[in-house]
Amino acid sequence: MTATTGADASAQASAEQVRAQVAAWLAENWQPGGGGPRWRERLVDSGWAAPTWPVEWFGRGLHRDLRRVVAEEFTRVGAKPAALDVTQLFANTILAHGTDEQKKSFVRPLALGEHQGCLLYSEPGAGSDLAALQTRADRDGDTWVVNGQKVWTSGAREATHGFLVARTDWDVPKHRGLTFFWLPLDQPGVDIRPIHQVTGGSEFNEVFLTDAVVADSHRLGAVDDGWRVLQTALGFERLIMGAAAGGSSRQRRRADGGETTLADRQSPWTRQIGGADYVELAKKVGKADDPVTRQEIARLYTLEKVNAWNSLRARADAGRGAASPLASIGKLAMSRIVHTGVSVTTNLLGAASVLDGDTDPVAAEVNRSSFAAFVTSIGGGTDQIQRNIIGERVLGLPREPEVDKFVPFREVRKAQATRRFS
């Protein structure tokens, strides 16, 4: 091992030193009730908004273990810690793969909230098999011309830019011909249409790209090396959720968009681990003494508890810097929990569960939850894909024969690239 770098040295800054620095800065800059004029700007420029980012890029170069100290000090004075180095997956990815020029241009507007990102990954023909995406980017001098369709994009209507993965080489196997861009959305070639969801909401969008243009200066990473950049971006999404809850990155991605909003709706039951709400509902409908109901609620309570304990173990592993096999089971377990939860509440409501809307708001909630349960079992990697991941990556079982592995993508059998409207 060689001598520690400056960053490492900084990482070893004692928690007390950091605490004192934050406190001092806050004492000077924070005005109770909102931070005062240009608070966000001062915060970003101070580096305390993203303490683990490099000093030269809006950070303080601290070790990740010290994040909590910073957060504690902010919380202590009543300020919300920005923790952009956790939550700003766009900036994080750009810092990891961008050129200095890109870091300079893109990171600060993101940090200040002037720019908003969205994720243009999934396509109608590329769901479980994301690497099969067919949106194409064709080079035209210093720009790229993009054509295709993205789907399940949350936050697209609020976003200024999107992380776009597009195919730039059709003559190599599917993972190897993709390129990653930071696409400006405010242009004629970008058409964003909300998806009318079964729940009645429209948290997700389709994004149609028709001769949309992105400058080569907005390309992240090398041409045809987009899969690697994507993995980094997905990793930052996992970071957002923390290792604790388990589950795959693509579920996580949805978390700050529409999907978790939906998934949350199946609360109050799943949110409050402990099942107290089922117990209350059972009492309210007079089924607390029914042995079948008691078995069912105890079973659901058990599923919730063991999943929570699994998460604690996963978090402990992550805290030691170890990849935890437990992190991969949370999403599958949650799928079972939410579907079971819907079943339990439906049985508690009985006939009333056929009602909806204002006629019976509780039934309406359960009905919405019944759909939202599919967000968990489908969105962000289906239960089937999750079982593959557990089987292959955790248990080490061999992969299936991959018919498209060594085949130029042009020759691979593909799904419909765009969604047909009936």
Partner 1 sequence: MSAPKMLTSGQYLGSTGRLEAAVGTFEFTDDHEALRSTVRAFVEETFSEAQVRRLMAAPSALERPVWERMARELGLQGLVVPEEYGGAGAGPVELAIVLEEFGRRLVPVPLLSTALATVALAGGDPAVTAGRLEAVAEGRVVATVALAEDDGGWDAAGVHCAAVGGDRDGDGWRLTGTKSFVPDGLDADLLVVAARTDAGVGLFAVDSAADGLSRSALEVFDLTRRLARVRLDGVAATPLAAPADEAAFDRFLDAARIAVAAEQAGGADFALAMAVGYAKERVQFGRAIGSFQAIKHLCADAFVDVESARSAAYYGAWALAQDSPEVATVAPLAKAFCSEAFFATAQTNMQVHGGISFTYEHPAHLYYRRARSGAQLWGSPRTHRDLLATRIGL
Distance between CA 240 and CA 251 in Å, rounded?
Answer: 11
Contacts to partner 1 from residues 130-159, by CB under 8 A: 132, 151-152
Tell me how far apart the alpha carbons of residues 300 and 344 are, in angstroms, rounded to a whole number: 8
Residue 422 interacts with which of partner 1, a copy of itself, none, CB < 5 to 8 Å by class = partner 1
Tell me, residue by residue from 354 to 393, as one string, x for binding to a copy of itself by CB under 8 A and - for no binding: ----------------------------------------
- Residues 41, 323, 359, 410: which binds partner 1 (CB under 8 A)? 359
Query: Rounded to an integer, what is the distance from CA 415 to the centroid of its chain?
Result: 25
119: three-class secondary structure by DSSP: strand
Q: Is the dihedral of CA 351, 356, 358, 363 positive or negative?
A: positive
Site for a copy of itself in 392-421 (CB under 8 A): 400-401, 403
Cα(199)–Cα(369) distance, rounded to whole angstroms? 9
The site that binds partner 1 (CB under 8 A) totals a number of residues, namely 103
Identify the three-state secondary structure at position 125.
Answer: coil
128 scored as a contact of a copy of itself (CB under 8 A): no
Q: Shortest CA distance to 48 belongs to which of 82, 10, 8?
A: 82
In terms of CB distance, is 32 or 398 closer to a copy of itself?
A: 398
**What is the x/- site pattern for partner 1, positions 301-340, by CB under 8 A?**
xx--xxx-xx-xx-xx--xx----xx--x--xx-----x-
For the chain, state the CA radius of gyration.
24
3 φ, ψ (degrees, to nearest 5):
-60, 150
Hunting for tokens 């969008």 — which residue is that? Answer: 205
Q: With CB cut-offs between 5 and 8 Å by kind, which of partner 1, a copy of itself, none does residue 5 bind?
A: none
Sign, CA torsion 249/252/256/260: positive
Applying CB under 8 A, among 32, 141, 291, 398 the residue interacting with a copy of itself is 291
- Minimum Å distance from CB 144 to partner 1? 26
Dist CA 357 CA 354 (whole Å): 10
Q: What angle do CA 272, 273, 278 make, to 5 degrees?
A: 70
Catalytic residue, candidates 73, 203, 237, 296 = 237
Q: How far is the CB of 294 from a copy of itself (least distance, A)?
A: 9
DSSP 379: T
Catalytic: 237? yes
Minimum separation from the CB atom of position 302 to a copy of itself (A): 16
Q: Which does 386 bind (CB under 5 to 8 A by kind): a copy of itself, partner 1, none?
A: partner 1
- Is 290 near a copy of itself (CB under 8 A)? yes
Q: Mark the segment that binds partner 1 (CB under 8 A) among 19-27, 28-36, 208-216, 355-363.
A: 355-363
- Catalytic residues, by residue number, are 237
